[in-house]
């Protein structure tokens, strides 16, 4: 937060008071405009995933993807070859 028109002598303990009560006192530091007491953190990338987590995700997801692809290919082949399923005979049909 920036408060204009303050000086080094304004540094000290401050607290907030409202209808619900009082906050604990906090030390307010006055710095010269343009300088910061702490370096600002570097911007982080929007999407970041560690290498071990990426590898784990690939290991877990790969079997599902592989099975899905195999089933799709098998289904497409059976349709193009005109295979139809023959209903199984029940016990009463055999008698």
Model confidence pTM above 0.75? no
- DSSP string of 41-93, one letter each residue: PPPPPSS---HHHHHHHHHHHHHHHHHHHHHHHHHHHHHHTT--PPPPPPHHH
Average pLDDT over residues 78-91: 67
What pLDDT does residue 37 have? Answer: 57
What pLDDT does residue 11 have? Answer: 87
What pLDDT does residue 67 have? Answer: 92
Residue 31 and residue 11 in contact, taking contact as beta carbons nearer than 8 Å? no
pLDDT, averaged across the chain: 77
Average pLDDT over residues 69-95: 74
User: 65-80, pLDDT tens digit by residue?
Assistant: 899 999 999 988 888 8
């Amino acid at each position: 937060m920036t408060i204009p028109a303050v000086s080094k002598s304004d540094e000290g303990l401050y607290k907030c008071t409202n209808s619900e009560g009082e906050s604990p006192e906090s030390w307010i530091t006055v710095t010269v405009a343009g300088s910061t007491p702490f370096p600002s953190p570097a911007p982080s990338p929007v999407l970041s995933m560690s290498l071990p987590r990426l590898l784990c995700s690939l290991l877990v997801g790969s079997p599902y993807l592989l099975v899905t692809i195999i089933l799709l290919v098998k289904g497409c082949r059976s349709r193009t070859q005109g295979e139809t399923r023959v209903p199984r005979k029940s016990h009463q049909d055999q008698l």
